[in-house]
Structure 1
Amino acid sequence: MDKNTVHQTNIIGAGEVGSAVSIDMDKNAVHTANSLYWDTQGNDFLGAIVLPYYGAFVSEEKCQLFGDVSGKKMLEIGCGNGQSLHYHGERQASELWGMDLSEKQIEKATQHLKSCGLAAQLICSPMEEECGLPVHYFDYVYSIYAIGWTTDLEGTFDRIASYLKKDGVFIFSWSHPIHKCVAAENNSLAFKKSYFDESWYSVSLAEGALTLSDRKLSTYVNALAKAGFVMEQMIEESDEEMMQARGENNDFAQKAKMLPVTFVIKARKL
């Protein structure tokens, strides 16, 4: 993509949020921009997707990917405000660990979990970097709508594999890449960018900016295999019952009936 190319994009959820400009990826610059946004504006503008929801119209209550986590050691990548850790704490997980790029999110998670009477080990760090987490230790590592922020997907999956015990489970969700390419316009769907374009881009939003890359689904699957995972399940269907229960009949719901807007993968470390 030419650097001057501008297109509309949707970061998380349904709405078109602004002009996206292709840029060269610099890891430190990406971390600085994204951590600043989550420190100051993230939850207010982007909202937060937390368990039992994996994303739009996909839920753990319906999919049952985790099953019984009682007595299990859990690590969340991109723990945000701690609500997904709270979800597992209520289900009697034995240990709760989390990491997040944003200091403010770690503060919020600490306060939230403490108010719920739950103990957790929380670390502020990019997911790509060494941060002192124990290796071969966790039964589950999971990430709810956070793994796509990484600047190094293969390196991140390698680290996650190192944190898990043998036969440990990795579960993650993210915005489906085809959703990021297509927009609803005048009761129809229109492609806004190439599915094969994985270049980095910056999006200017209210009071800040974010930097992202839209990776192909095959990029995630191949990186998992390279890190020594076997994929057990992938979900990309929207739950019709969830849409009906919420009375959703907007452009986003209509789009979700025709193409996947969220994907979830469950993989096991060999």
Structure 2
Amino acid sequence: MNALSTNKQSWDEAAERFFGRNPLPEYGPMAPSEDDLHLFGDVTNLKVLDIGCGSGHSLQYMRERKAAELCGLDLSSKQIEQATTLLEDSAQPVRLFESPMEVNPGVPLDYFDIVYSIYAIGWTTNLPKTLENINSYLKQGGIFVFSWEHPLYNRVGNKEGVLTLDHSYHDEGTYDHVAWSSTAIMQQFKVSTYINALVDHGFQIEKVIEDACWSEKDVQRHANRWYTYEKAKAIPTTLIIKCRKL
């Protein structure tokens, strides 16, 4: 079974557990939110595409902010079913594609004002092809914003309150995420790899954000989870990048 088939099966099994987990305005656990960063600006009457749309809650956020058109793409049939149900009463046009991000299943080209991806880009099996696709979906001058687990975060372990470097930051490639109950194959890239790949595929970098922030509620919510306050104090959980199509 290849990585895409493995991940599709894993996400179909996990879809209910991740229903509505960390959607916009959140960018990730214990990370700044869109309410803090204002990366999108006013989305009124804009066309938006969500890469790895999951249960559709980030698209719902865009709908509430009066985006003109909503479009989403996700590998998991269960996630697409959930997003369809969530968004079925939308007054705006909504198009959802069940597809890996490495493939264009019929998404229009040079069409969208905004493409974004919230905690999904690291699931790609082919980062260059995914970025090539995303660039092709955007109008010239269009914005691409994505967040993903910071590349340092899973390199460091927390053993009885002591942080230890468990893996080299320089090691890149596929890995089976230990926090998943079933096999889930993700991609490890350095921050510089993401930035250089974006530049190579026709994007101008505007913001790179590695900040961490938390409230008492966040600390309690993430107690004994993969993302913990103890690690977040020393290592950012989330990498956020905003760029623009040249």
**TM superposition score normalised by structure 2:** 0.91
Matching residue within 138, 144, 153 for 1:170:
144
Matched residue, 1:143: 117
The partner residue of 1:243 within 215, 226, 230 is: 215
Residue in 2 that maps onto 1:8: none
Residue type of the alignment partner of 1:65? L
Shift of 1:132: 1.1
Q: Unmatched 5+ residue regions in structure 2?
A: none
The separation in 1 between residues aligned to 2:63 and 2:71, in whole angstroms, is 11
Q: Tell me the secondary structure at the aligned position of residue 258 of structure 1.
A: coil
1:55 equivalent in structure 2: 28
Q: 2:166 aligns with which of 172, 192, 197?
A: 192
Q: Is the 8 A contact 2:173 2:187 kept in 1?
A: yes
Q: What is the identity, as a one-letter code, of the residue corresponding to 1:36?
A: Q
- 1:29-85 Cα shifts (integer Å, max 9, x gaps): 111010111112244279732111000122111111111100100000000000000
Equivalent in the alignment of 2:14: 41
- Aligned partners of 1:142 and 1:45: how far apart in 2? 18
> What are the residue-to-residue correspondences of 1:70-219 with 2, within 5 Å?
70-115=44-89, 119-203=93-177, 205-206=180-181, 208-219=182-193
Counting aligned pairs with the same residue, the percent is: 44
Specify the SS of the correspondent of 2:44.
coil
Counterparts in 2 of 1:44 and 1:245: CA distance versus 1, 3 Å: closer
Q: Which residue pairs with 2:240 in the alignment?
A: 264
Name the count of aligned residue pairs: 240
Partner Cα separation in structure 2 for residue 85 and residue 47 of structure 1: 11
The change in CA–CA distance for 1:266 and 1:117 in structure 2 (over 3 A counts) is: same
Superposed CA RMSD:
1.9
Native 8 Å contact 1:243 1:253 kept in 2: no
How far did 1:199 drift?
2.8
Q: Is the 8 A contact 2:112 2:138 kept in 1?
A: yes
Q: Distance in 2 between matches of 1:113 and 1:45?
A: 17
TM superposition score normalised by structure 1: 0.83
- Structure 1 unaligned regions, length at least 5: 1-27
Q: Distance in 2 between matches of 1:79 and 1:62?
A: 22
Per the TM alignment, residue 189 of structure 1 is displaced from its structure 2 partner at its CA by 0.8
How far apart are the structure 1 equivalents of 2:20 and 2:87?
19
Indicate if the aligned counterparts of 1:180 and 1:214 stay in contact, CA closer than 8 A.
Answer: no
CA offset digits 1:185-220 (Å, max 9, x no partner): 2222101111111132234743x3111221111111
